[in-house]
Amino acid sequence: MTRISTRNKPKIAFIGLGAMGLGMAIHLLEDGFPVNGFDLDPMALERLLAMGGTAASSPRECVQDASFFICMLANSTQIDQAFFTESTGAIFGLKQDAIVILCSTVAPGFPQEVLSQVHRRFSRPDIQIIDSPVSGGTIRATRGTLTIMSSGPEGTMRISQPVLQSLGEALYNIEGGLGSANKVKLINQHLAGIHIAIAAEIMGLAATMGLNTQRLYEMVLNSPAHSWMFENRVPHMLADDWSPHSALGIFVKDMRIVTSEGLSQNIPLYVATAAEQLYNFAALSGYEKEDDYGLVRIFIPHDLSLVLAAAQQKSHADDQQKFEMICNMLEITHGVTAVESLALAMKLDLSIKSLAPIISNAAGTSRSFEYSQETYWQKQ
């Protein structure tokens, strides 16, 4: 591994060394940042040590002497525990003027709740927080090419730029104050979560109908029914590979955030609610810790490897009509999803003009979204 001198680079505490977090931490090491990590998984800590980082036994120990504290935990409950657990929480070890970078996907109001506790309950007004949810998956995390959305105090954002630039190739400063970046991430997860769900349904349907699933995949890539998630996730379905790159449980949590925000904004999210139910059912079926594209198995319970088997299916005379019907179904669902997401974005006071290029560079994009946002943009 090629290392850059750490002489002039600030120390980073990194808590949350999961599939993406570990890749991010290792990339920071490769970019010359000293990284001290904490995670409940000893294997993750061993990997970090092997790559030149250091490991801590608690969040409090992890953040000591670190100028930046990056939090990449799975949910708000874990973040609360890492920050505020009596005697071992990060709040008891943060140095003066440390900056917290929340990279987790959480409800838009949660970063402000954390900041309020830090400033008021623990009397640490010197600590600043920016919320910087990320998108791009494990491979881009390791390469430092994530899409990163950030919001918070302007001065804190400016100081944090060298760290964020190391982790991402597309950085977006979201106006509106702390929590606004997670509003944008919420829209992305709304789109991405539904796109995975409909990809699973489509591939399960095609396999059950006796269609060649490999041929359908190739047709969708070159059609208006294309989405980033379809292109990225379906090859794993075709390979019958459920290795956890992005656990299905993440979308159980993220779709709950989406639908809860819809309720709080008094806007019905019919498609998102249906997708949430699918993820919950899959989690109850035992797939929560496996990859999210394993959702396809709830549509083929009689033969969990049917998508792979159907990839070798011979063609029949009427297959083309069936392929076109399925592509139309996929395109229509993507279109309805795009309209629902844009309606939610407007309810959250997000500018469609500003939102569009971010989503187009993130996992939630689709051809239907690109078309729909142009229509909404013209109306704004």
Rounded mean pLDDT, 326-353: 95
Is 152 contained in some domain? yes
133 and 236 together in one domain: no
**pLDDT confidence of residue 5:** 45
pLDDT at 278: 98
Residue 7 lies in a domain: no
In this structure, the answer to whether residues 186 and 126 fall within a common structural domain is no
Q: What is the pLDDT, as a whole number, of residue 3?
A: 41
Q: What confidence score (pLDDT) does residue 245 get?
A: 82
What contacts 116, CB < 8 A, 6 or more positions away? none
**Rounded Cα distance, 25 and 13, in Å:** 9
| Neighbour count for residue 120 (Cβ, 10 Å) | 10
Phi, psi of 91 (to 5 degrees): -60, -25
The CA distances from residue 327 to 95, 127, 214, 223, 306, in Å, are 55, 51, 14, 8, 19
Domain boundary among 152, 178, 204: 178
Rounded percentage of the chain residues whose pLDDT exceeds 70: 97
Q: Which residues contact 17 (CB under 8 A, 6 or more apart)?
A: 25, 37, 38, 39, 41, 44, 45, 47, 48, 72
pLDDT band of 18, cuts 50, 70, 90: very high
Is position 305 within any domain? yes
Q: Is residue 4 part of a domain?
A: no
Residue 307 sits in a domain whose CATH number is 1.10.1040.10
146 shares its domain with 211: no
Q: What is the count of structural domains for the chain?
A: 2
> Are 70 and 15 in contact, with CB atoms under 8 Å apart?
yes
Structure tokens at 257: 């955030």
Rounded CA-CA distance 211/203 in Å is 9
Find how far residue 336's CA is from the centre of its chain. Answer: 21
- In terms of Cβ atoms closer than 10 Å to its own Cβ (0-12, 13-18, 19+), residue 196 is buried
Confidence of residue 380 (pLDDT cuts 50, 70, 90): low
Instruction: Looking at the structure, tell me whether residues 146 and 129 fall in a common domain.
Output: yes
Q: What share of the chain is helix, strand, coil (3-state, %, to 5)?
A: 60, 10, 30
CA 79 to chain centre: 16
Q: Can you give the residue range of the structural domain that contains 372? A: 182-379
Rounded Cα gap, residues 273 and 268, in angstroms: 9
Amino acid at 246: S
The size of the chain, in residues, is: 380
Shared domain for 186 and 233, answered yes or no, is yes
Q: Give the neighbor-by-neighbor strand order of the sheet with 54-55.
A: 54-55, 35-38, 12-15, 68-71, 99-102, 128-131
Q: Please check the confidence at residue 365 and state whether its pLDDT lies above 90.
A: yes
Summarised one tens digit per residue, pLDDT across range 94-126 is 999 999 999 999 999 999 999 999 999 999 999
Higher-pLDDT residue of 260, 242: 260
Residues contacting 63, CB < 8 A, separation 6+ = 13, 15, 36, 69, 90, 93, 94, 95, 98
373 band by pLDDT with thresholds 50, 70 and 90: confident
Q: In terms of Cα–Cα distance, which of 240, 246, 326 is closest to 279?
A: 246
pLDDT for 376 equals 65
Same domain, 167 and 220: no
Query: Could you confirm whether 185 is annotated as catalytic?
Result: yes
Residue 5 lies in a domain: no
* CA dist., res. 195 & res. 233, Å (int): 10
Question: Does the pLDDT of residue 165 top 50, yes or no?
Answer: yes
Q: Is residue 124 part of a domain?
A: yes
Residue where a domain stops, chosen among 178, 194, 225: 178
Token duo for residue 18: 């999961």
User: Do 335 and 226 reside in the same domain of the chain?
Assistant: yes
In a domain, 2, yes or no: no
Are 162 and 188 contained in the same domain?
Answer: no
**Which band of pLDDT confidence, cut at 50, 70 and 90, is reported for residue 221?**
very high
Q: Do 160 and 37 sit in the same domain of this protein?
A: yes
pLDDT of residue 379: 59
Out of 114, 149, 178, a domain closes at: 178
Same domain membership, residue 19 and residue 61: yes
Indicate left, alpha or beta for 144 from its phi (over 0: left) and psi (-120 to 50: alpha). Answer: left
Same structural domain, 197 and 292? yes
pLDDT bucket at 374, cuts 50 / 70 / 90:
confident
Q: Which of 11, 95, 183, 185 is labelled catalytic?
A: 185
CA 204 to each of CA 209, 246, 283, 294, 373: distance values in angstroms, whole numbers, following the listed order:
9, 20, 18, 11, 29
Do both 164 and 187 map to the same domain? no
| Residue 1 in domain | no
Q: What DSSP string runs through 256-314?
A: HHHHHHHHHTT---HHHHHHHHHHHHHIIIIITTSBGGGGGGGG-TT-TTHHHHHTTPP
- Domain with residue 134: its CATH number is 3.40.50.720
- Taking alpha carbons only, the member of 366, 365, 362 closest to residue 149 is 362
What pTM value is reported for the model? Answer: 0.93
